[in-house]
Amino acid sequence: MGIEIERRFLVVGNEWKDGAIATMYRQGYLYFQEFGVLRLRIAGDKAFLTVKALRDNLSALEYEYEIPIRDAEEMLTGLCDRPPVEKIRHFVTYGGMTWEIDVFLGDNEGLVIAEVELEEPEQPLDLPSWVGKEITADRRYLNASLYRHPYKNWIDD
């Protein structure tokens, strides 16, 4: 069983871009439950099916399996009921940890989120200057939520 523990933040500024390594991501969802999903993801030249089940606001059970990219393309266009979530994921090292900064495209354009995986829930974290408001507990920012209710449709808070 894989457990993913992560914290998520909105990103402010562009200081994170220096030295970032980028990969294009497209993902759709084949199945939804209140606290879990079956996700299809194409990341660069690799593809994955992932089962995710939220445990709480900070952690989720995660099982990920690589699949042929041709199969993933067919499933993304033929089985997913909405356009995919598209983003460019940038990998940035800060404070000895790898941060993933997602710059969303398409229906979620304008949204930039940073996330970092932790080894334990109470792990201390050195926050970079480009990290803004924490959104870990706000499920609207989960990719599955953005798939069903894109950022472009949100009413300003």
Which residues are tagged catalytic? Answer: 29
**How far apart, in whole angstroms, are the C-alpha atoms of residue 114 and residue 9?**
5
Q: Would you state the torsion angle of the CA atoms of residues 109, 115, 121, 125, taken in this order, to the nearest 10 degrees?
A: -130
Report yes or no: 149 and 142 within 8 Å, Cβ to Cβ.
no
* Dihedral of alpha carbons 8, 24, 27, 1, sign: negative
Q: Pull the structure tokens for residue 68.
A: 């042929």
